[in-house]
Chain A
């Protein structure tokens, strides 16, 4: 018996976290108290009296009729949660209670939320044979729980808010600790603000939701994406005399971008409408006064045009010349496209004409 309460708190925390996360910081204080009671009531009523599927559908329909007002977000959210995850809650209640007793040794600490979710998911499957409930329901629950667990990890900062909420919920709930435990899971899975509203979901919302749950389920995707942040050392610019600038780490930057220094330099000169040369130490001497920021801008544009893959945005590309045309082949997605040749445009006459007489 003691195990149940322990397990519940973590679930509650998740739910509360999700709510807080969704709403503005200002609303956080008000939300915790309200959501918990409402959710509890709905769960108890729906779960005990009516079938899982029908109740949820009805609730959804009734809620869908209205329009979403941002001020009412919190209340609506709660309602929506009930509607959306009513079945989940019910299912979980019935199935999970037995399961938890048997399988779960109680993941008491909030920190172990993930583990708890994992255990819970495992528990249902194991006990599924014993219980009469359909496997489908269980599977759904499991998936949601897993998602929730992942979300929780991301939202760890919000835990404190959840803790006091949990206490309130428990006092009110009394009999069904699990009932409200389950709702939180559902909330986490869809903790977007639009869940409360009754309108149809837009593609954008569903898309962000998909990515949120995808990354929650597969943290490796997220980490790999973030790891790939492409960084390049900032260009080092010095002034040589009054009219020349020295770009000291050209070769280093070119190496990092896997581009020929000649190509990069040609682009720099064409873009900045100037000329220059490479000195003995591999530094680029540019005619004119340039600051680091300016060079950085030009380099950035160079990367957009000649380094990053237009298809997948990966900087892992190769530039090859065939038949006088430059082709950029992406190493990570395999796309290949031609890129514009570097062309310096019109050069206005600057300085004394006598100096650049060509004949």
Chain B
């Protein structure tokens, strides 16, 4: 007769590595990332990723395009969700635009050189 409690049994055995499939370990995911990417010549792309859910990316894109006088598009990425893509280096403008419209500056991360 076996007592269940005495069995050596690892209750977490089938859990695997708790951090195994968590890609953003140690990072807070709720940042808004503004990145820049070089294209050919002196052309650049600005991407905005991690927009909070309560904001409509479509409307924001429209506002950006009008405000910054640039073109842009909304890209659906499998991992990153919807990403706003703008032509040219709009990083500073985007961050100041977002701050002016009530977003916390501490939640915005501007990357790039």
Chain A residues with a Cβ under 8 A of chain B? 243, 270-274, 288-290, 294-295, 297-298, 323-326, 338-341, 343, 345-348, 350-351
Contacts and interface: CB of A to CB of B under 8 A. Distances in A.
Interface of B: 17, 19, 23-28, 33, 35-40, 45, 47, 49, 75, 77, 80, 83, 85, 111-113
Contact of A289 (B25, B37, B38): B38
Given A324-B19, A348-B47, A273 B24 contact: no
B25 A288 contact: no
B33 A273 contact: no
A252 B52 CA distance: 41
Nearest to A289: B38
Considering residues B28, B47, B85, B113, which has the most beta carbons from chain A within 10 angstroms of its beta carbon?
B113
Contacts of A324: 17, 19, 25
A273 B85 contact: no
A273 B39 CA distance: 11
B49 A345 contact: yes
Given A340-B27, A341-B25, A348-B47, A271 B37 contact: no
Contacts of B47: 345-346, 348
Nearest to B81: A346
User: Main SS of chain A's interface residues?
Assistant: loop
Nearest to B50: A345
Contact of B113 (A297, A325, A347, A348): A297
A274 B37 contact: yes
The 4 lowest CB-CB distance pairs between A and B, nearest first, are A294-B113, A273-B37, A288-B38, A340-B27
B45 A339 contact: no
Nearest to A350: B39
